Chain A
């Protein structure tokens, strides 16, 4: 009995998959262990309570939350429009929405400069006409984060909207509900898991944003230096600080993963 089960086990785990699989797993785990083992645990709290670190943390939270809010306000409607194929050429627009997702973040920063820089396509008009400057400001950080993170919200939510049976909306309309009431009381609650998953993914991406931010908004402590930028800067002077700040970001990622592990991530992905 035990003999046959052992034999079955061996055939179920062929070495040519087991070996490279183990390498991949090790490769992914070792850096995390290294980060934790090299952390300056003794001075951890002291490093984090340093005003520069606190500034970066506060700035990161503020900008990433604002970017997520922006993504929600404009991304939810766009996700709906794409899901319902309201716009002509929906396939093209959907592909376009995915571009910031695949674009190298530095390139995203350059495109933002081309658009919203002082001499950019829209930026010159903003600067000369309204006196508004986006690059190298905190608002610029929000713009960069929203640009890179919004597609995560949109694709997650579009799947959610597609999964809603149209008959529920039809039933609501025959019962006298306006388009707005139907959206608010029927459609939105039915895609709630996708909204939660999309929002968290979007926020996590905004929080980790580095390339587009440093390119478009620069690296000014207290103004545009978010946590990832602070980590990069600290690495040049004090490795311990860089590792401590990294652990904070790692903790956030793990928390997000654990929070989404349940029904939200699964139903959001399958919807």
Chain B
């Protein structure tokens, strides 16, 4: 259950060029300035952004070769937690979590039972009937995680999972995310702005600046031996 991205993605003036491999069970934090290409990397793995050359493969299967092969997102078995969660506003929390399995052919009843199970495990059992508009940011984050995990993805992608939270809920959510991710056996890639989050959750950090990987190391190595002035400044800002 590995992921490999050796590809170039051009987006107007900007291009992302990387050659990265991710191992199962490994939690990687992707850091970098705004507009450096972090989200583009996630989107190209999820299938929302085709690559222009090179390839993306999941579990050894090429899902995008920049040419003839382009497997649609719905066939990739990748879970994506969006930055502001993108919970479906017209569906209840339970229906949001059950959406993935239902789309993949699980019966409505079974999908709901499994969804409730997931909500129980993430400690939000009582939210099932509510609409996304009626829950807090921290709760929405857990629902988004539950929704992504409900399809048992091979790869879990998190786009700034804590950016939309206030400082108070961040601490609690970070703790819960840590537990949930520890149980997950696939590849986890998390875009993050904050070294604290990366340090709490990930073992490996990748820094992308201006479309290129400038450092790929453990978080300790990042702090002790920053490759660029950006990394140095980033790690210094950590309290």
Contacts and interface: CB of A to CB of B under 8 A. Distances in A.
Contacts of A167: 82, 86
Contacts of B82: 167, 170-171
B99 A165 contact: no
Contacts of A174: 46-48, 73-74, 76, 78-80, 148
A48 interface: no
Contacts of B86: 165, 167-168, 170-171
Given A175-B100, A178-B103, A170 B73 contact: yes
A190 interface: yes
Contact of A178 (B74, B78, B88): B74
Contacts of B150: 175
A185 interface: yes
B72 interface: yes
B104 to A, nearest CB: 4
A114 interface: no
Nearest to A173: B73
Interface string A157-193: 0000000010110111111111001000110011010
A135 B150 CA distance: 57
Interface string B66-80: 000000111111111
Contacts of A178: 74, 103
Given A171-B86, A171-B88, A174-B78, A185 B99 contact: yes
Nearest to A167: B86
A173 B104 CA distance: 11
B74 to A, nearest CB: 5
B89 interface: yes
Interface residues of A, number: 18
A170 B74 CA distance: 9
Given A167-B82, A170-B48, A171-B80, A176 B74 contact: yes
Nearest to A178: B74
B90 interface: yes
Contact of A175 (B47, B90, B147): B147
B4 interface: no
Contact of A190 (B77, B89, B148, B151): B89
Interface in B79-109: 79-80, 82, 86, 88-90, 99-100, 103-104
A176 B48 contact: no
Contacts of B148: 174-175
Interface in B13-47: 46-47
Interface string B96-137: 000110011000000000000000000000000000000000
A190 B103 contact: no
A206 B79 CA distance: 46
Contacts of B104: 176
A177 B103 contact: yes
Contacts of A171: 80, 82, 86, 88
A207 to B, nearest CB: 30
Contacts of B88: 168, 171-172, 186
24 contacts: A168-B86, A168-B88, A168-B89, A170-B73, A170-B80, A171-B80, A171-B86, A171-B88, A172-B88, A172-B103, A173-B48, A173-B72, A173-B73, A174-B46, A174-B78, A174-B80, A175-B103, A175-B147, A176-B74, A176-B100, A177-B99, A185-B99, A185-B103, A192-B90
Interface of A: 165, 167-168, 170-178, 181, 185-186, 189-190, 192
Interface of B: 46-48, 72-80, 82, 86, 88-90, 99-100, 103-104, 147-148, 150-151
In the complex, the 9 A-B pairs of residues with the closest C-beta atoms, listed nearest first: A175-B100, A177-B103, A173-B73, A176-B104, A167-B86, A171-B86, A174-B80, A176-B103, A189-B90
Given A170-B80, A174-B48, A176-B100, 16 more contacts: A168-B86, A168-B89, A170-B86, A172-B103, A173-B72, A173-B73, A174-B74, A174-B76, A175-B79, A175-B100, A175-B150, A176-B74, A176-B103, A177-B99, A181-B103, A185-B103
